[in-house]
A and B are shown apart, each in its own frame.
Chain A
Amino acid sequence: EPEVTQTPSHQVTQMGQEVILRCVPICNHLYFYWYRQILGQKVEFLVSFYNNEISEKSEIFDDQFSVERPDGSNFTLKIRSTKLEDSAMYFCASTQESQGTGELFFGEGSRLTVL
């Protein structure tokens, strides 16, 4: 069964360092998302991406964050200068159907630990 894959599964970084989290969405999907979950808290929306541009972003998704789909298969989330509070699980998700009309397929997440 097709699945969303994310790498790395766990990354430890120093505060102020740049981090890139990678996702390979399901191949015929058109809509892509990043969510994050701070330990013990709810899953929060970060950004949605369609047709090679951001369609929506949350307040969390400030200038330190960026997303890219560089080669038609990977979908990346970059954090330019990590802060302690960026420590969280980051989930990528994709769907074939337009926003809210179909199921989201989630990856297993990338755990980011900022020291």
Chain B
Amino acid sequence: SQQGEEDPQALSIQEGENATMNCSYKTSINNLQWYRQNSGRGLVHLILIRSNEREKHSGRLRVTLDTSKKSSSLLITASRAADTASYFCAPTGFQKLVFGTGTRLLVSP
């Protein structure tokens, strides 16, 4: 299994702005998943993008995947205070999910 490396480690924005987080990984994958964790709570699955997909949307979320660069990005548009959380990517290839240190997003009203 491999863990993704999220960047930046922390991001602070105002409500209404867009937030972009990046994820890099090392070996080939079957899919890449993004999760959110509110402080002290369980992880919540946001979106899964398969290795043959380049972009995927879900509500205010947009995920891209570039397998040639082994990287992914998560864009949250029109952010809200409720988006304040840690965000984790999980690149996976038919193995257990492993999580890195994540990006801590703070959205101020």
Contact = CB atoms under 8 A, between A and B. Distances in A.
Given A99-B94, A100-B95, A91 B101 contact: no
B48 A100 contact: no
A33 B99 CA distance: 14
Given A98-B94, A100-B31, A101-B94, A91 B99 contact: no
B41 to A, nearest CB: 6
Contacts of A42: 99-102
Contact of B93 (A45, A100, A106): A100
A56 interface: yes
A45 B95 CA distance: 12
B81 to A, nearest CB: 21
B10 interface: no
A33, A44, A99, A105: residue with the most chain B Cβ atoms closer than 10 Å: A99
Contacts of B1: 45, 100
Contact of A43 (B43, B45, B95): B43
Contacts of A68: none
B-side binding surface: helix, strand, loop or mixed? Answer: loop
Nearest 8 interchain pairs by C-beta: A100-B92, A106-B42, A103-B45, A43-B99, A106-B43, A100-B94, A108-B42, A100-B95
Interface footprint category on A: 20 to 34
Interface in A77-100: 89, 91, 93, 98-100
22 contacts: A33-B96, A42-B99, A42-B100, A43-B43, A43-B99, A45-B97, A45-B98, A48-B96, A56-B96, A98-B94, A99-B92, A99-B95, A100-B92, A100-B97, A101-B31, A101-B94, A103-B45, A104-B45, A106-B42, A108-B42, A109-B41, A109-B42
Interface in B21-45: 30-31, 33, 35, 37, 40-45
A107 interface: yes
A102 interface: yes
